[in-house]
Amino acid sequence: MDGNGEQQARENRQEEYRLLVESIKPKHNLLQNCVNAFLVGGAICLIGQLFLIFYSGQGLGEKEAAAATAGTMVFIGALLTGMGVYDKIGKFAGAGSIVPITGFANSIVAPAMEYKREGFVFGVGAKMFTVAGPVLVYGTLISCIIGIIYFLLQ
Amino acid sequence: MQFVLAFVVGGLLCVAGQLWMDLTRSSVTPAHILVGFVAGGAVLSALGLYQPLVDFAGAGATIPLSGFGHSLAQGAIAAVRQKGLLGAFAGGLEANAVGVAAAVVFGYVAAVLFNPRG
Amino acid sequence: MGNKCGEQSVSFSQPLVITSGANIVGPDEGKGPLASYFDLILDDMLFGEKSWETAERKMLEESAKLALRKINLQPQDIDFFLAGDLMNQIISANFAARGLGIPFFGLFGACSTFAEAILLGGILIDGGFARRVLLSSSSHNLSAEKQFRFPVEQGVQRSPTAQWTTTGSGAVVLDAEGDGPRVSKGTVGKVLDLGVTDANNMGAAMAPAAADTILSHFQDTGTSPESYDLIVTGDLGKVGQEALLQLLRQRGCDPGDKVRDCGLLIYDLAAQDMHAGGSGCGCSATVFTGFLLKKLREKEYQNLLFVATGALMSPLSCQQGETIPAVAHAVAVSG
């Protein structure tokens, strides 16, 4: 039997089937999804701006006000997730509620809550970081690399 | 005006995330989006491109996770100026200690207090 | 003694009788168009338990007990219990078997498990190893989401091709004799893979297996679409069903409008937000034990081919970029 021929025939069959599936697959409503993401993402940032101005008005410096805003938004994201509201927002907003820092809080609370029954160490403690872990890993890694490059270029 | 800019820029960054999710492979999850935004924000920041956006749009640029990346990168750069190589390791996390600790604490408390409802 | 016919089918020496069927479903299924066919509709997803997983195993055990109770049988009247589910190490079936105390075979065929159980149960009886067997399978939306996808409170958008794991459990008693719909033959599926990698489009991954099993069944047993009133697939959903129809036509078989799908029957897709339809071991099990058995008993359907399909991936194999293999098992049931 010609192994290559067989391989080729299989690939052809797979490609043919892929095209068939593509032709019948319902498409994302891209425009609607983008509008939803824009509105919700924009609204979350608007709320952030409110807090930013509020904290700046309290006499906090630029950095401190930004940090306090981030903390506040994380609190709101965590609370809404706990109350079972954030997943409903997410269903509507898609990336609009994933990209803002509230989405980061959501990705921490959701698995932590879900795995509470598996205990406080391997459940809550470990699962909290299923999504937040990679974010912190790559964030830290890149910031260190940038720092080192900056140090070398100095 | 500040509010309009925050809304529009923040919204557009989310649209970028939505396009990424909908137009690419189905295996892109929220984890990929968040990691991508943090990494992208950090790189843009190091190239000096993100700070102008922050000056322009305020929370519209800092609340999306790319703002976290920006803050990590700027923290590392500022710390290198002060402490040299050690700063490269300390700066990023130091600058974001509040956000990270808030995420852990509030995340933990919410997880303990609430149950998933499905 | 029955015999093997053709390449992959079995024909029983005399038809085996489904003497009892029972099911339990979750709240969403209870709001669907088949609500009146279910024995018990749960008000909440926990079923009085402390976790989704314990709720699922309770559903499986209770539906099995209910199937026995309906015909006044005790667990000791049953020779073997065959069951399976979607959880890792099929914990729902294993733990339910612990409660029932019947000699047990655990099965894993993903969403094809219920048809697999009927086939194997039939083979056990026809081979003379058993008089009566109890068969069951279950799935639970939230335990499955947790294991295969995202935590329930995570704010994510579902793909329009994604299927909704049914919360439900179905059980039947298969007997060498008695009253009820009869199982005369069946076809054991081969594992097929046409290169679909999208775990949010399992219908497309399973359709080739369904088409292959249906065509093999016709060939092996000398039947055709005309031999059946309906061909009911397990849970291909909207995308998978369309793919199946096109695959069948490509290979010269036109089933007309005889193809139905459990995943499409169980929900009202227009009113319920279930995207491409239902899936999971509990989907075909509850539709079969509720809706189909009743229609067979009432002789509304004389002959039907029940083809349950299963996507055989794991979260790990998906993360490693593997394609999704699938299997479909068929059983012919007559009223």
In a domain, B48, yes or no: yes
Residues of chain A positioned with their CB less than 8 A from the CB of B30: 98, 103, 107, 131
- Residue C10 and residue C144 in one domain: yes
Please give the pLDDT value at position A4: 82
**A133-136 contacts at long range (C-beta below 8 A, 24 or more positions apart):** A134/B31, A134/B34, A134/B35, A135/A104, A135/A107, A135/B31, A135/B34, A135/B35, A135/B38, A135/B65, A135/B68, A136/B100
Write down which residue in C175, C206, C222 finishes a domain.
C175
Residues of chain B positioned with their CB less than 8 A from the CB of C155: 30
- Residue C193 and residue C159 in one domain: no
Nearest residue in C to A100, CA atom: C155
Question: What is the domain count for chain C?
Answer: 2
Amino acid C277 reads G
User: Quick one: tokens of A104?
Assistant: 């980061």
In a domain, A15, yes or no: no
In a domain, A12, yes or no: no
Residues of chain B positioned with their CB less than 8 A from the CB of C198: 26-27
Domain hosting B37: range is 2-113
Residues of chain B positioned with their CB less than 8 A from the CB of A81: 110, 114
- Strand partners for C134: C81, C173
Task: Give the 3-state DSSP-derived string for B73-105, with helices as H, strands as E and coil as C.
Answer: HHHHHHHHHHHCHHHHHHHHHHHCHHHHHHHHH
Domain hosting A137: range is 27-153
User: Quick one: tokens of C200?
Assistant: 């949010």
Best residue in C145, C153, C164 for a mutation probing chain B (most B CBs within 10 Å): C153
For C152, the closest of B27, B29, B116 (CB atoms) is B116
Q: What is the pLDDT of residues B12-33, one digit of tens each?
A: 999 999 999 988 866 788 999 9
- Residue C156 and residue C245 in one domain: no
- Residue C162 and residue C221 in one domain: no
Please give the pLDDT value at position A29: 87
In a domain, B118, yes or no: no
In a domain, A10, yes or no: no
Going by C-alpha positions, the residue among C240, C200, C217, C195 that lies closest to residue C119 is: C217
In a domain, B67, yes or no: yes
| Chain C residues whose C-beta sits inside 8 Å of any chain A C-beta | 50-51, 146, 150-161, 194-196, 201, 204, 208, 238-239, 242-243, 246-247, 276
Nearest-neighbour CA in chain B from C118: distance (Å)? 32
Question: What is the domain count for chain A?
Answer: 1
Mean pLDDT for all residues in chain C: 95
Nearest residue in C to A87, CA atom: C155
Nearest residue in C to B110, CA atom: C153
Write down which residue in C153, C175, C197 finishes a domain.
C175
Question: What is the domain count for chain B?
Answer: 1
User: Quick one: tokens of A20?
Assistant: 């068939």
Residues of chain C positioned with their CB less than 8 A from the CB of A94: 157
Whole-Å CA distances, A140 to B71, B106, C118 = 11, 21, 54
Please give the pLDDT value at position C1: 67
User: Quick one: tokens of C113?
Assistant: 């498990």
- Residue C30 and residue C142 in one domain: yes
In a domain, B97, yes or no: yes
Quick count: other Cβ atoms within 10 Å of Cβ C284? 36
In a domain, A60, yes or no: yes
- Residue C139 and residue C103 in one domain: yes
Largest Cα separation within chain B, whole Å, is 50
- Residue C208 and residue C306 in one domain: yes
Task: Give the 3-state DSSP-derived string for A37-87, with helices as H, strands as E and coil as C.
Answer: HHHHHHHHHHHHHHHHHHHHHCCCCHHHHHHHHHHHHHHHHHHHHHCCCHH
Quickly list H helices, A1-29. 3-24
- Residue C218 and residue C147 in one domain: no
For A42, the closest of B11, B71, B72 (CB atoms) is B11
- Residue C207 and residue C228 in one domain: yes
The CA-based dihedral angle spanning residues B21, B27, B32, B37, taken in that order and rounded to the nearest 10 degrees: -20
Write down which residue in C117, C144, C175 finishes a domain.
C175
Going by C-alpha positions, the residue among C130, C120, C137, C112 that lies closest to residue C61 is: C137
Please give the pLDDT value at position B118: 62
Q: What is the pLDDT of residues B89-104, one digit of tens each?
A: 999 999 999 999 999 9
Q: Are C261 and C253 in contact (CB under 8 A)?
A: no
Which subunits have 3 or more CB–CB pairs within 8 Å of chain C?
A, B
The reply to whether residue B62 touches residue A66, judged by beta carbons under 8 angstroms, is yes
* Angstrom distance (rounded) from CA A53 to CA A60: 10
Residues of chain A positioned with their CB less than 8 A from the CB of C50: 117
The reply to whether residue C150 touches residue B29, judged by beta carbons under 8 angstroms, is yes
Please give the pLDDT value at position A2: 58
- Residue C155 and residue C267 in one domain: no
Q: For each successive 10 residues of chain C (335 residues), what is the average pLDDT? A: 90 96 97 97 95 96 98 97 96 97 97 97 96 97 91 87 95 96 97 93 96 97 96 95 96 94 94 90 96 96 97 92 96 96
In a domain, A7, yes or no: no
Nearest residue in A to C145, CA atom: A114
The reply to whether residue C246 touches residue A24, judged by beta carbons under 8 angstroms, is yes
Quick count: other Cβ atoms within 10 Å of Cβ C79? 16
Report yes or no: A65 at the B interface, CB cutoff 8 Å: no
Domain hosting C285: range is 182-334
Please give the pLDDT value at position C273: 85
Please give the pLDDT value at position A63: 86
CA atoms within 13 A on the CB side of A142: 27
Per-residue pLDDT tens, chain A, 154 aa: give them.
Answer: 556 888 999 999 999 999 999 999 887 789 999 999 999 999 999 999 999 999 999 999 988 999 999 999 999 999 999 999 999 999 999 999 999 999 999 999 999 999 998 999 999 999 999 999 999 999 999 999 999 999 999 8
- Residue C129 and residue C186 in one domain: no
Q: Please provide residue C243's backbone torsions phi and psi, each rounded to the nearest 5 degrees.
A: -65, -40
Largest Cα separation within chain C, whole Å, is 56
What CATH number corresponds to the domain at position C316?
3.40.47.40
In a domain, A42, yes or no: yes
Nearest-neighbour CA in chain A from B29: distance (Å)? 10
Residues of chain A positioned with their CB less than 8 A from the CB of C208: 17
For C200, the closest of B26, B117, B118 (CB atoms) is B26
In a domain, A88, yes or no: yes
